A and B are shown apart, each in its own frame.
Chain A
């Protein structure tokens, strides 16, 4: 566990208070010398808040993985559009969004449905 890269991987777990005390102390020492981890704290917390809020906004009854309600087509299309924008922003490649969208569409229902997982 002395590999700095491996210690960087503990940042989300540290922020989530999901480390043993001893490992947490080791991470704190690492944090003192790793600018990358420090810079990532705020965006990571922002993401964690967003993800927690996503759950809070969709209080679903307890369901098993197989018994999920799938989402309608319209939200899927909306997501696809947003996705195209997100992708175009996120990737510096020359790939056109139109080539990306159909590929990504396959995963849409999965991601939304899984929010309903208990």
Chain B
């Protein structure tokens, strides 16, 4: 599989060099467990491997008592994409447009780093509701700050 070297090089950014093999192995084991589905969608295999590999890297770090901030851990493409962060002023402006129930969940979880379970308890709603609000809130946020190529 030629994809493995790519996965390996990306993972080097997240875990120590001697951990890369472990994380690659664990990622590939997951890929094999989902072989049937992945075979039907081969063109997306690399993208999938990178997302799952990142997750395995977080697992690895956590198991060893390091607490990575998953909000900041990215397996970006090289170059211009590497440290792209959404413009903060735009982000705040867009946040202000969200319905309160979505905004408060996004602030609690994405800004303050609380877990969905904690937030669910605070607001006395099911944890699934918190995850759902998070998802739709982020989608709306994304739509609001998206920049078209030409600003006519």
Chain A: interface secondary structure?
helix
A66 at the interface (CB under 8 A from B): no
**Beta-carbon nearest neighbor of B108 in chain A:** A117
8 more A-B residue pairs beyond the given contacts A9-B134, A9-B136, with a C-beta to C-beta distance below 8 A? A18-B116, A47-B110, A82-B89, A86-B144, A89-B146, A104-B97, A112-B96, A117-B112
Docked-complex contact B107 and A87, CB < 8 angstroms = no
Docked-complex contact B58 and A17, CB < 8 angstroms = yes
Contact pick for A87, options B33, B37, B87, B144, CB 8 Å: B144
A48-71 CB contacts (< 8 Å) to partner B: 48-55, 57
A35 at the interface (CB under 8 A from B): yes
Of the listed residues A43, A57, A112, the one surrounded by the most CB atoms of chain B closer than 10 A to its CB is: A43
The CA-CA distance from A27 to B94 in the complex, in Å, is 28
Contacts of A83 in B (CB 8 A): 93-94, 96-97
Contacts of B107 in A (CB 8 A): 114-115, 117
Contact pick for B96, options A9, A44, A55, A111, CB 8 Å: A111
Residues of A within 8 A of B (CB): 6, 8-18, 24-25, 28-29, 31-33, 35, 38, 40-55, 57, 78-79, 82-83, 86-87, 89-90, 104, 107-108, 110-112, 114-115, 117-118
Docked-complex contact A82 and B93, CB < 8 angstroms = yes
Q: A13-B116, A38-B44, A51-B106 are in contact. Are A28 and B70 (CB under 8 A)?
A: no
The CA-CA distance from A54 to B71 in the complex, in Å, is 12
